[in-house]
Structure 1
């Protein structure tokens, strides 16, 4: 991380203000004054601004209710991104934890903590993700059972891990998977002859989308929610 970037996060300065402070000799690192804004900051560096010790804020963890038409990316030239839904000051270093397709809605997590994000979304940790799926035509019992048993996806050599399947209506189901293959839910339904027309993620582990959040809303996770999601099995 650059020294000016460090100050924007630790002291709440704008990038311009941080550059002025550094060039003005107001910043020390390891007891020495540094006037180059691009100086690399060591992870354990002791930095002061006007004699006051500076430290980075702790990691941030957010839940967002992703609306339809918004992409799970930090930048996009054609479509609004999930970061566009947040105040600009809240976006620094946030990364998306398990992307959703542009037209998929529901629970999306964002965090600055890469290790936690990996723990939540890596298939090796078997964190379940639950989706409400609407398909174009009614589902029969044979299709539902195939999803439960595991289905071979187009272009794959191994079938999907058996899923939890709960019928909701004749053309709707609640599907829980523990993998994260590319477009997995849509491909699973396609493999049993059904086209997905609406997809909504309801839950990650035992963390459900907050029912009081409208599309586009976000909130911080509680410490208990953060720790629970990182536990083995994730609920």
Structure 2
């Protein structure tokens, strides 16, 4: 990693600001008498800024209660994103591990750890996701059994994988799926002639949305939650 890139990610300063500091001699690198901005760093090599040691920040793992109207993106010219709900110091290098539609609420996990994110989102890992679904029309036992067995979505030639469907009320169910097809939950209910009018994600894998978080609020994941993925 180049020295200027390392310092920018460690301090939050711009590359331009970092280059000025290096040019002033305010940055020292172990074994380098006169480091330059493009000096390559070796793993474990010490770096100091104004006499203070500099290290890369650790990976960040957050859960967020996404409100409706917010998009799961790192940048959007028209809508608020999940990153807009975080303070500036937490946004750097963080991305949502998986997505929710703009009108869907509930649990979103954000991280700067690409490998951890991949374990959550890769189809090979089949991470379970539980949704609370409100429907326009009553749900029959046949509807629930069809969701459990797998339904054929419009425009596709393979049915969905078996799901867990538990009735909550006449028009509400808890649906757990292990895939991430486009608008999958809405399309599954549409395949049964019903319409989703409310969708809320409660859990991803072993991580459940903290009931203490109001829409728009977030917290750090615990070590147990991080290790459970």
Q: TM-score, normalised by structure 1?
A: 0.89
Distance (whole Å) between structure 2 residues aligned to residue 115 and residue 64 of structure 1: 20
- Once the two structures are TM-superposed, the CA of residue 17 in structure 1 deviates from its matched residue by 4.3
* Aligned residues of 2:149 and 2:163 also touching (Cα < 8 A): yes
Aligned to 1:156: 156
- Once the two structures are TM-superposed, the CA of residue 54 in structure 1 deviates from its matched residue by 2.5
Paired residue total: 226
Aligned to 1:233: none
Aligned to 2:79: 79
Distance (whole Å) between structure 2 residues aligned to residue 176 and residue 43 of structure 1: 46
Deviates more, 1:76-85 or 1:186-195: 186-195
Shift in CA distance, 13/164, structure 1 to aligned 2, threshold 3 Å:
closer
- Once the two structures are TM-superposed, the CA of residue 43 in structure 1 deviates from its matched residue by 7.0
Distance (whole Å) between structure 2 residues aligned to residue 103 and residue 65 of structure 1: 13
User: C-alpha root-mean-square deviation of aligned residues, in Å?
Assistant: 1.9
Deviations 1:196-235 (A, max 9, x none): 111000001121100000000000001111001x2xxxxx
Distance (whole Å) between structure 2 residues aligned to residue 82 and residue 222 of structure 1: 20
Deviates more, 1:140-149 or 1:26-35: 26-35
- Once the two structures are TM-superposed, the CA of residue 31 in structure 1 deviates from its matched residue by 2.6
* Aligned residues of 1:137 and 1:194 also touching (Cα < 8 A): yes
Structure 2: gaps (5+ residues): none
Aligned to 1:35: 36
Distance (whole Å) between structure 2 residues aligned to residue 3 and residue 152 of structure 1: 53
Shift in CA distance, 141/6, structure 1 to aligned 2, threshold 3 Å:
same
Q: TM-score, normalised by structure 2?
A: 0.91
| Mapping for residues 53-92 of structure 1, pairs under 5 Å | 53-92=53-92
Structure 1: gaps (5+ residues): 231-235
- Once the two structures are TM-superposed, the CA of residue 51 in structure 1 deviates from its matched residue by 4.8
Shift in CA distance, 106/28, structure 1 to aligned 2, threshold 3 Å:
same
Pair 1:146-2:146 in alignment:
yes
Question: SS of 1:117's equivalent?
Answer: helix
Question: SS of 2:48's equivalent?
Answer: strand
Deviations 1:71-127 (A, max 9, x none): 000110000000000111110000110111101000000001010111122221121
- Once the two structures are TM-superposed, the CA of residue 26 in structure 1 deviates from its matched residue by 2.4
Aligned to 2:213: 213
Question: SS of 1:197's equivalent?
Answer: strand
Question: SS of 1:212's equivalent?
Answer: coil
Deviations 1:142-185 (A, max 9, x none): 11111010011122221111000001111111000011111111
* Aligned residues of 2:72 and 2:101 also touching (Cα < 8 A): yes
Aligned to 2:20: 20
Distance (whole Å) between structure 1 residues aligned to residue 184 and residue 141 of structure 2: 20
Shift in CA distance, 112/147, structure 1 to aligned 2, threshold 3 Å:
same
- Once the two structures are TM-superposed, the CA of residue 49 in structure 1 deviates from its matched residue by 2.5
Shift in CA distance, 2/215, structure 1 to aligned 2, threshold 3 Å:
farther
* Aligned residues of 2:22 and 2:36 also touching (Cα < 8 A): yes
